[in-house]
Amino acid sequence: MHAYKGIKIVNGIAIGKIKLYKAPVYEISDELVSDIKAEIDRFEAARVKVQEQQNALYEKEMKEGRKDTAGIFEAHAMMLDDDDLIDSCKEIMSEGHTAEYAVRDGFEAAAEMFRNMDDPYFQARSADVIDIKNSMLDVLFGADTENLQGTEPAILVADDLAPSETVKLDKSLLLGLVTRLGSSNSHTAILARSMNWPTLIQCTDISDDWDGKFAILDGYNSCIYIDPDKPTVEALTAKQQEDKEKEAKLQELKGKPSITKDGYKVRLYANIGGPKDINAVRENDAEGVGLFRSEFVYLNSKTDPTEDEQFEAYKRVLESLAPRLIIIRTCDIGADKTIDYMNLDKEENPALGFRAVRICLTRRDFFKRQLRALLRASAYGNLGIMFPMIISRWEVQECKEILATCKKELEAEGATIGKYEIGIMIETPAAALCADELAEEVDFFSLGTNDLTQYTCAIDRQSANLERFADTHHPAVLRLIRETIEAGHRHNTWVGICGELGADPTLTEEFLKWGVDELSVNPKSILPLRENVRNIDLSKYKIPEPKAEAKEEVKPEVKPEAKPAEAEKPKGLLGRLFG
């Protein structure tokens, strides 16, 4: 038996034979041809055919309800209409090169342009250009690429898989996926996650002689066992069975309250990036949305989204998920999330730079467009508006003033505006340490533990080299979390956690003990977390009842079964007692 490591994308166990997939390698001649028109015609025919294929894949994904993956193929089809790309290929052919040669060089140059961009999201898009290049070459060489998997269920092993290859995979024949290359931002990884296949990437030891061998992909331990021994087979078969039973059991928790054995209720909300995640919120029975990262609405747009475009996106989420509370965070752009059309200066320390609310308070028109869209959308559900990267009270006051101006303007225009709560992210040590005074300004806090950890421990969250020093349970971070919850409750401000730590099952009991009101996590973590909560008994801890004096314009408690805007504001820990 041999064990080989990779990077896990999706947990789970896959047991079976390996099917090794080798992408075809084409020999492209650099000899010049005389009939330039014939090459351009071949190129055009291939372009039309590949575009048809991509459109068919788009239709298939839409039909099966996977709008996000459908979008990949829609973008691919559009790429094949790109004048710059087509012209650069035609220019190469006009020098006497073949259509194959032009496709290889023209598409490679476009992919290189993406690779050299600073933003990891755009860097990962180079894989899409390469995917289209390969599809064009398949057509020009007349290759059959339909059957990657053979006829038996297998663990598919490949150097890499393009989205168009991944989506063609027959789910009934796919046990798991292992690739030598790939990144966690790649579309193949995104597809694997949305399909929930046990998946490893960057498994550098893949070798041709694995083909047909018996193997076990162990997502939990980020490795694949080739020719596993009997005890390993037995242990991992049992684990696989246990997973199946757990998964079935978790489904039974849908509709059940997230409540500890001794009756403390916590709200389990979902983190989302936009309307495409509405189904995931419903399917995983999230009780609300604790973090809608609105910057994805901006990142997914080629130009600055208009007020109407934003309004439509926010309205769709609010309306579709009503009466759940939907907390939409105002644009948290900057640092790792850069947008070309924003024309932001390059900075030495972008994580400490011009980002999030600092941009919004400087570019008022930009900010007002979003606030107006949010206020208009508030008429369609239960909205929470949340400001990120706060360090000072005056920033919150200025955000609220601009919001009030937008409200006045909209009312004068005759717009309907619903109720909404106002909150801030607590994701800087400054905000955590000033939580008492900040709490006087807002209805809720949401702890952004990803940035709070980065700024408290001076650990760049993007750096792969700091793994050894990064302690997500650092006592300083945990202390700031606890003290923020306590400060919030002193002022009747409810407190949630929307950073990754909220889904860490080893901390759930601590968070509940400290009185957290809400945990907002990726949708797939909701049911496991609910199970975890329901197994906790806090009666062993002495829980002090916090002061609970109501402020003016008190905002409501959001119980899972209550419409947030209509319910009462929590009166501390005991206020969340079930029954």
Q: Which stretch binds Mg ion (CB under 5 A): 54-62, 410-418, 445-453, 456-464?
A: 445-453
Shortest distance, position 454 Cβ to ligand PEP, whole Å: 8
Integer-rounded Cα Rg, in Å, for the chain is 26
Question: Within 13 Å of residue 272, how many CA atoms lie on the same side as its CB?
Answer: 31
CA pair distance 486, 529, nearest whole angstrom: 23
Active site residue 491: no
Residue 451, interface with Mg ion (CB under 5 A)? yes
CB nearer ligand PEP, residue 332 or residue 557: 332
Residue 508: strand, helix, or coil: helix
Which listed option, Mg ion, ligand PEP, none, makes contact with residue 371 (CB within 5 to 8 Å by class)? none
Which listed option, ligand PEP, Mg ion, none, makes contact with residue 449 (CB within 5 to 8 Å by class)? ligand PEP
- How many helices (H) and strands (E) would you count in the chain? 21, 16
Asked if residue 252 lies in contact with residue 285, where contact means CB atoms within 8 angstroms, the answer is: no
DSSP state of 276: G
Which listed option, Mg ion, ligand PEP, none, makes contact with residue 305 (CB within 5 to 8 Å by class)? none
Is residue 505 reached through a cis peptide bond, with omega within 30 degrees of 0 on the bond before it?
Answer: no
Which residues of the shown chain bind ligand PEP in the complex (CB under 6 A)?
291, 293, 332, 427, 448-451, 498-499
Shortest distance, position 450 Cβ to ligand PEP, whole Å: 3
Bridge partners (DSSP) of residue 142 are: none
Residue 448, interface with Mg ion (CB under 5 A)? yes
Could you tell me which of 459, 493, 492, 462 has the C-alpha nearest to residue 477? 459
CB nearer ligand PEP, residue 58 or residue 494: 494
CA pair distance 382, 557, nearest whole angstrom: 12
CB nearer ligand PEP, residue 155 or residue 442: 442
Asked if residue 103 lies in contact with residue 137, where contact means CB atoms within 8 angstroms, the answer is: yes
Which listed option, ligand PEP, Mg ion, none, makes contact with residue 370 (CB within 5 to 8 Å by class)? none
CB nearer Mg ion, residue 158 or residue 425: 425
Shortest distance, position 433 Cβ to ligand PEP, whole Å: 17
Question: Within 13 Å of residue 282, how many CA atoms lie on the same side as its CB?
Answer: 12
Q: Is the dihedral of CA 61, 62, 68, 71 positive or negative?
A: positive
Of the residues 76, 187, 489, 491, only one is catalytic, namely 187
Q: Which stretch binds Mg ion (CB under 5 A): 60-68, 311-319, 447-455, 462-470?
A: 447-455
Asked if residue 555 lies in contact with residue 569, where contact means CB atoms within 8 angstroms, the answer is: yes
Of the residues 89, 223, 457, 498, only one is catalytic, namely 498
Q: Which stretch binds Mg ion (CB under 5 A): 125-133, 153-161, 424-432, 553-561?
A: 424-432
Asked if residue 68 lies in contact with residue 190, where contact means CB atoms within 8 angstroms, the answer is: yes
CB nearer Mg ion, residue 216 or residue 481: 481
Which listed option, ligand PEP, Mg ion, none, makes contact with residue 504 (CB within 5 to 8 Å by class)? none
Token pair for residue 567?
A: 């319910």
Count the residues of the shown chain that bind Mg ion, applying the rule CB under 5 A. 3
CB nearer ligand PEP, residue 176 or residue 290: 290
Active site residue 473: no
Shortest distance, position 356 Cβ to ligand PEP, whole Å: 9
CB nearer ligand PEP, residue 362 or residue 462: 462
Shortest distance, position 533 Cβ to ligand PEP, whole Å: 20
CB nearer Mg ion, residue 166 or residue 271: 271
CA angle 272, 277, 279 (to 5 degrees): 135
CA pair distance 381, 419, nearest whole angstrom: 9
Question: Within 13 Å of residue 464, how many CA atoms lie on the same side as its CB?
Answer: 3
Which listed option, Mg ion, ligand PEP, none, makes contact with residue 499 (CB within 5 to 8 Å by class)? ligand PEP
Asked if residue 128 lies in contact with residue 71, where contact means CB atoms within 8 angstroms, the answer is: no
Shortest distance, position 450 Cβ to Mg ion, whole Å: 5
Residue bearing tokens 């809608």:
292
Shortest distance, position 334 Cβ to Mg ion, whole Å: 10
Shortest distance, position 451 Cβ to Mg ion, whole Å: 4
Q: Could you tell me whether strands 382-387 and 420-426 are parallel, antiparallel, or unpaired per DSSP bridges?
A: parallel
CA pair distance 355, 357, nearest whole angstrom: 6
Residue number of the CB closest to Mg ion reads: 451
> Long-range pairs for 295-301 at CB < 8 Å and ≥24 separation?
295/329, 295/331, 295/332, 295/333, 295/337, 298/331, 298/333, 298/339, 299/121, 299/337, 299/339, 300/274
Token pair for residue 317?
A: 């989420």
* Chain centroid to CA 439: 29
Shortest distance, position 288 Cβ to ligand PEP, whole Å: 15
Q: What is the DSSP string of 488-506?
A: HHHTT-EEEE-SGGGG-TT
Residue 427, interface with Mg ion (CB under 5 A)? yes
CB nearer ligand PEP, residue 61 or residue 451: 451
Residues marked active site are found at 187, 498
Contacts to Mg ion by CB under 5 A: 427, 448, 451
